[in-house]
Structure 1
Amino acid sequence: MKTIYLFILFVVLALIQLSVPATMVFKNQSVLNSGTAYKFRTRPIDPTDPFRGKYITLSFDMNNAVTADTLWQNRSDIYVYLKTDSLGYAAVKSVSPFKTNTDDDFVIAQTYGYYQKSNVIDFMLPFDRFYMEESKAYPAEMAYRKASRQGLSNNTYALVYVKNGYSVLEDVFINDVPIGTYVELQKTTD
């Protein structure tokens, strides 16, 4: 009888452990399936930023906004409401320290500076790392850095799906080519 209870307890614990990652995967897949896609224009990253692990570090043009609110604290959450600019890239529609009653798509970012004189709030977007296969990560970071520094001739951006404040970074593009494919193409031309 005791072994039956232990077996049932084991099964329940196993199901609980499986439900956590399954829930995370389901939430991300839901955002990818029914969220709104935004292209976030990237900018060159600091050349001294070391490559860490199996991801590339992203930096975005959209990292601040002008605001009339004065309730900002460093390292606090900020609701960044999005719109699409005339070139098809994500832009800040408004920012708020609180969730507002609107149907606009938003991401929850983190503040790191507020300049009261100019009413500018700086923030970090939550998707600044793009994970890749280990053998492609370093060449991808080098290709991304090179393309980002070449200015207008290269178009680098991250495709991010947004739904109800959740965001999922799907891919990074250089000249509208997914970065993994771009790296493969660069290998054949070198």
Structure 2
Amino acid sequence: MTARPFLIALTGPSGSGKTSVARLLAAEGAQVSHIRADDFYKDYDTFPKMGGWINWDVPENIDFEALRDSLEALRSGKPVHISAFIKDSRERTPKTLSPSPVLLVEGFLLLYDASVRDLFDLKIYIDCPREVQIERRLQRDKIHPREHIEQVVIPQYEKYGLPTRAYADHVVSSEGDLDATVSEVRKIIADYLKRTKVERAS
């Protein structure tokens, strides 16, 4: 019988580097699939406003039910066909998510919903100081000014995302070099998989 895939959560604030870490780890081999929780955003025209800004950063923007159903299917070894949200165009595109031995799921509010949170075998929180978050976000986001990040992104994450840090099995700092962060996360996952595979075999 084929072993059930391992479901691993990678979460943390915007600018923490979680997407880069997930992408790099998934690129290292066919054993790991990178699943983006951002694919499960609801339609852009339903997003609320905050102080004149569109607020991307509240839990109700994410279809947690669809995310949960997709993860359950993948965990049972079935591919999933979704209509993925594309942030740049704010449109949707067909996308197939395929099962693999390790499913690395990444998202900034990934541990907010209990029905999703409880699916994970391992939960890793990537953290970094507020000013580092802001500077990294400004480097990649050429649309939203610093005011948007300071008035919407950071406060909303501190309200909804930061409390979920308590659910993490491991907390990793990404203040330094990306390679160091990837290396630390890789070791956490490798140690967990080694230990758990031994337990499954015993």
Which bracket does the TM-score occupy, shorter chain normalised? under 0.3
Using the size of structure 1 for normalisation, the TM-score is: 0.26
Higher relative contact order (CA 8 A, sep 6+): 2
User: Which one has a bigger Cα radius of gyration?
Assistant: 1
Using the size of structure 2 for normalisation, the TM-score is: 0.25
More strand by share: 1
More helix by share: 2
